[in-house]
Amino acid sequence: MPAIATLTVFALDCAEPQRLAEFYGAITGWGLDRDHGDWVQLRSDGGATLAFQLAPDHQPPVWPSTDQPQQAHLDFDVDDLEVGEAAVIALGARKTQVQPEPDAFRVFLDPAGHPFCLVLAG
């Protein structure tokens, strides 16, 4: 089947776009591509882009919850879950209480409350 479109950007709503861009930039090593104040982008060498959009009244999802569920999350592969966990917590992530498979992946909340996972590579 031929492609209809190409995915170029994944954007997260948040109250502080620059702060969240710094957080994910530290995790990925991706550089700042654009900063318009209310829209900040990081771009990988491969062209993937994460963007952070100002949403002054942003209400983060509650994980796990059916009342205010996550609608998307990001997964990042790591070689060592313990090392990765310590690094993202030092950046401001919070580890969630519910950890479905802590030997395979760990669930965290970014500074704006979006869920993301560190996944054991391999």
Stated pTM of the model: 0.86
pLDDT at 101: 94
Chain mean position to CA 43: 14
Nearest in space to 28 (alpha carbons), one of 77, 79, 86: 77
SS3 per-residue string spanning the chain: CCCCCCCCCEEEEECCHHHHHHHHHHHHCCEEEEECCCEEEEECCCCCEEEEEECCCCCCCCCCCCCCCCCCCEEEEECCHHHHHHHHHHHCCEECCCCCCCCCEEEEECCCCCEEEEEECC
**Conformational region of residue 113, where left means phi above 0, alpha means psi within -120 to 50, and beta covers everything else:** left
What domains are there in the chain, each with its CATH number?
A: 1-58 (3.30.720.120), 60-122 (3.10.180.10)
| Predicted confidence (pLDDT) per residue in 55-110, tens digit | 999 999 888 888 888 788 899 999 999 999 999 999 999 999 999 999 999 999 99
Over residues 32-52, the pLDDT tens digits come to: 999 999 999 999 998 899 999
As a dihedral over the C-alpha atoms of residue 47, residue 84, residue 34, residue 19, rounded to 10 degrees, the angle is 160
